[in-house]
């Protein structure tokens, strides 16, 4: 079975910028070498959230001075602790 080639010409709009929510993203503008290094054995995943949940997460992160990563890791650890009890 041959693989299909997908042309992306004209599909990516590189002229527009994302909508500014007024909430600064942690690490935005930092050079890659200043970001935290990967942790030993670290795995990554992608999480899709609806707009309202994402906005609430960003607001909570800004109010508590935490990263999305820290909030979600803590919440997941609590969930798994109770799920396996």
Q: Per-residue pLDDT tens for 9-42? A: 666 666 666 666 666 666 666 665 566 667 888 8
Helix (H, G, I), strand (E, B) or coil at 81: helix
Decide if 28 contacts 62 (C-beta within 8 A): no
Which pLDDT does position 27 carry in this prediction? 61
pLDDT digits (tens, 9 = 90+) for 27-84: 666 665 566 667 888 888 899 999 999 999 999 999 999 999 999 999 999 999 998 8
Structural tokens at position 4: 């299909």
Cα distance between residue 84 and residue 44, in whole Å: 22
Q: How many CB atoms lie within 10 A of CB 57?
A: 16
């Amino acid at each position: 079975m041959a693989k299909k080639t997908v042309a992306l010409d004209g599909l990516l709009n590189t002229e527009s910028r994302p909508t500014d929510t007024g909430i600064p993203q942690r690490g935005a503008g930092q050079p890659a070498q200043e970001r935290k290094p990967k942790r030993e054995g670290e795995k990554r995943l992608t999480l899709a959230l609806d707009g309202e949940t994402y906005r609430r997460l960003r607001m909570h992160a800004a109010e508590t001075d935490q990263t999305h990563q820290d909030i979600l890791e803590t919440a997941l650890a609590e969930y798994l602790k109770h799920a396996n009890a």
